[in-house]
Amino acid sequence: MGEPLRLAVLVSGKGSNLVAIVGAAERGDLQATVVVVISDRPEAGAIPWAQSKGICTEILPPQGLDRPAYAERLQQLLDRHRPDLIVLAGFMRILDAGFTERWSGRVLNIHPSLLPALTGLHTHRRALEAGLDHHGCTVHFVTGELDGGPPVIQASLAVQPGEDEASLSARVQALEHRIFPEAIGWFAEGRLEMKAGSAWLDGQRLESPVMREES
């Protein structure tokens, strides 16, 4: 077996997806190691959790940096830690187009909706307001188009009558914790790549993302 895939995990929040990824690696379900966790917010809960696991952490606040300057600083951190794949696990900043071009095919994001529905923020609230009967999450490759890169895998659930935003968010996050490590695992095994603007799994172009249902 080769070396585990080196992951840089970028976060802004509590880090439940980071916990799921590290858990999958610890169980041996994912041949990967988190070489650095980078947060734009010093108060992100993911940071003390990563430190408690002995994972290297970096804080890169955006203050005083425009988008290209932020990307340059981020690149310097990445040069130091040499990841094979960047994982956006609740990282709430838009990355510079030059940066996403440079890292093309090596950045995965988790988004809390069934893309292309509900790009952007507050997806659970907007799903409820729109009266959607199904909602979920998507792992996709990151390109210069916000939440628009080729999708890899989605998980969906049926919205329950009378359900509130907190409940929907918790149910979707449980799905995120399943499909994000799964997609990263495919990449680690050399089964997943981005080519000619599409996601490819096991040598087949994905016409649509792999689908999972809430169980």
Instruction: Please give the sequence-ordered ranges of beta strands (E in DSSP) within 76-142, or none if there are none.
Output: 85-88, 107-111, 134-141
Nearer to ligand GAR (CB atom), residue 156 or residue 200: 156
Walk across the sheet containing 204-205 and list its strands. Answer: 192-195, 198-201, 204-205
Question: Coil, helix or strand for 134?
Answer: strand
Q: In the complex, which residue's CB is closest to ligand GAR?
A: 90
Of the candidate residues 7, 8, 10, 16, the single one contacting ligand GAR (CB under 6 A) = 16
- Kindly indicate which of the ranges 28-36, 60-68, 76-84, 109-117 contains the residues binding ligand GAR, using the contact rule CB under 6 A: 109-117
Select 43 or 202, whichever has its Cβ closest to ligand GAR. 43
Residues 73-92 that bind ligand GAR (CB under 6 A): 89-90
Tell me if 17 contacts ligand GAR by CB under 6 A.
Answer: yes
111 is catalytic: yes
Q: In degrees, to the nearest 5, what angle opens at C-alpha 118 toward C-alphas 116 and 65? A: 100
164, two tokens? 């509130």
Instruction: For residue 132, give Cα distances in angstroms to 90, 113, 135, 139.
Output: 23, 11, 7, 20
- Residues between 132 and 191 that touch ligand GAR (CB under 6 A): 137, 173, 176
Site residues (vs ligand GAR, CB under 6 A): 11, 13-17, 46, 89-90, 110-112, 137, 173, 176
Residues with catalytic function? 111
